[in-house]
Amino acid sequence: LALQAPNAPYLLVPEWKRHTFWTACPSCKVKGKHPIEHLNSEIVCQLCKHPFTAIEVQRPRKIKATKNVAPHPSKKPKNVENVTSNVAPPPKKVKKAEKKTEEESFGKKFSKQYIQVLLKDMTKAILEDKKSKK
């Protein structure tokens, strides 16, 4: 007695699911690939930091390099992504921010009250340690 195949062969094939989608920042026009869970949700552009709703757009097209385009420095010829519409303008020259001292950055991470309590506890522990060694 042989087993018969089910009448609906599609039951045997697992359903295909997309895991990613392409979106573009409306501010700088850079396209990016994101997890499908972020579709229609608020995200922040990694380049210009502009928040926007992630809607699906067509993925970037790849075009073959022509003689007018400089060859890629690698040995193998590669497809070149059409970057003219996907590149943000060069950033404006901005004066470099001075490095903050450790003390300044530490003070921003923790409240003044927390630091005072921590110092008090550490001082107490050090003094007790010194007493026990005598």
Q: Where exactly are the structural domains of the chain?
A: 17-59, 101-134
Which position has the higher pLDDT, 100 or 18?
A: 18
In this structure, are residues 69 and 84 in contact, taking their beta carbons and an 8 Å threshold? no
pLDDT band of residue 81 (cuts 50, 70, 90) is very low
Give pTM, 2 decimals. 0.38
Residue 85 has a pLDDT of 45
Q: How far apart are CA 44 and CA 87, in angstroms?
A: 17
- Express each pLDDT in 23-67 by its tens digit: 999 999 999 999 999 999 999 999 999 999 999 999 888 876 655
- Residues 6 or more apart whose CB falls under 8 angstroms from that of 38 comprise 21, 54
Residue 50 has a pLDDT of 94
Residue 126 has a pLDDT of 87
Count of alpha carbons within 13 angstroms of residue 124, beta-carbon side: 6
Q: In the predicted model, what is the mean pLDDT of residues 67-74?
A: 56
Partners of residue 129 on adjacent β-strands = none
Residue owning tokens 């300044």 = 104
Asked if residue 72 has pLDDT above 80, the reply is: no
Query: Quick count: other Cβ atoms within 10 Å of Cβ 38?
Result: 14
Asked if residue 78 has pLDDT above 60, the reply is: no
Which position has the higher pLDDT, 45 or 7?
A: 45
Q: How far apart are CA 63 and CA 22, in angstroms?
A: 18
Q: Is 34 helix (H, G, I), strand (E, B) or coil?
A: strand
